[in-house]
Amino acid sequence: MGLVERRQLKIELARFMLSYKFATDEMMTKINILKEEFASIHDYSPIEHVNSRLKSPEGILNKANRKGCPLSLPDIRAQIQDIAGIRITCSFISDIYRIRDMLTRQQDVTVLEVKDYVASPKGNGYKSLHLIVAIPVFMSDRVEPVTVEIQIRTVAMDFWASLEHKIYYKYRGAVPVDLVFDLKQAADVANRLDVKMERLHDQVLALKPAGEADSDLLSIT
């Protein structure tokens, strides 16, 4: 593809991405409703932080090239599933699945794919639950199902992934072997922390006398 065509495609991509922005806004509203509602009823929310991002047109084209995806909007729509991305962090591993259930049982959310890197971590130690979902976006002249990738992970998994991502980009993918080894060890430590924190949390919940407000116990977590 020549420079002029690539520039033209980027302009079309910017328009095409508007639907992804709307889908992200809709999902963020759903997640924030769950977060607030959960916090007000249970005095605790499994959702610690949420953020969203849209892949840049350049990022989309790079990913399409990497995947061997033809540079046409229908192909990009079909093959690049993380143009709209939402990341949710939570305290405990069980929260990851609780959030998944709360989101996927909503009628207008269609689950297209689940990648459970929590149950089956990547070789480098990466853990996270990825949901690829479609949500209908109501435009002035049509309803469009738009794909959103939702990553759900604990704070410890997120801490690890952020650092690994920085290191990966710093070395442009060619991370030295000793650093890869250290990162894998750090992932194991993060996992042990997650398991231990969950056990402590369960113990505290088991101690809770009947009728005691959640806030009295959860404030110490």
Catalytic residue ranges: 149
CB 23, CB 148: distance < 8 Å: yes
Return the range that interacts with ligand 0O2 (CB under 6 A); candidates 89-97, 120-128, 192-200, 207-215: 120-128
Instruction: Check binding of 81 to ligand 0O2 (CB under 6 A).
Output: yes
How many other CB atoms are there within 10 angstroms of residue 203's CB atom? 9
How many other CB atoms are there within 10 angstroms of residue 135's CB atom? 20
- Minimal distance in Å, beta carbon 48 to ligand 0O2? 18
Of 79 and 221, CB closest to ligand 0O2: 79
Instruction: Check binding of 130 to ligand 0O2 (CB under 6 A).
Output: yes
* Residue 161-190 contact track with ligand 0O2, rule CB under 6 A, x = bound: x--xx-------------------------
Question: Which of 18, 31, 32 is CA-nearest to residue 146?
Answer: 18
Q: Which residue is nearest to ligand 0O2, using beta carbons?
A: 126
Indicate which single residue of 6, 67, 192, 196 sits in contact with ligand 0O2 (rule: CB under 6 A): 67
Of 39 and 112, CB closest to ligand 0O2: 112
Q: What is the DSSP pairing of strand 84-90 with strand 49-54?
A: antiparallel
CB 28, CB 86: distance < 8 Å: yes
Q: What angle do CA 204, 210, 211 make, to 5 degrees?
A: 110
- Minimal distance in Å, beta carbon 41 to ligand 0O2? 32
3-state secondary structure of 143: strand
